[in-house]
Structure 1
Amino acid sequence: MRIIAFITDACAVREILSHLGEATSPPPVVLARGPPLWEMADADQGEFDPPAQPIPDYEFDQRIAC
C-alpha cells in the first residue's frame, strides 16, 4: 500500500467520511482520570504498598561483580 493522494480540503474530507459512514466530527474530550488507588479501603496510609520491595537480609554492593 502506498499514498497516492493527500486530501487537505476540509469539505472533501467531510464528504468522504460521511459517504463511508464514519464520524465527521472529533470525539468529545473527556477529563483525565485520577491516579490508581493503591491503598486498600480499610488500611491506613503507608500500611499497604504493593510496589514497595522489602529490604534484603544481606548487604549488597553493586560495585562488586561476580
Structure 2
Amino acid sequence: KELKPFQRWMARRIVPQARRWTLREVDAALGELVRTDRLLKSASLTDKQAMEELLLRLWAIGRPAESAA
C-alpha cells in the first residue's frame, strides 16, 4: 500500500532523525513511556506534569554525559 503524500513527506523527515537513536536510547525512551503511562493511570501527577517530566527525561536520554573536568 502506498503512503499518502503527507505520510511520504513525514517519513522523509523522520527517518534521518530515527537513525540517530541508538538501541540503548530507544530502549530507555520506551521505558520512560511506560513509566509515564503508569504515572498517568495512577493519577499521582496531572497530565501536564507527566508530559513535562517525560519530555525532560527524553531530552536527557539524548544528551551525552558531561565529563567531569
- TM-score relative to the length of structure 1: 0.23
Larger radius of gyration: 1
- TM-score relative to the length of structure 2: 0.23
Greater helix share, structure number? 2
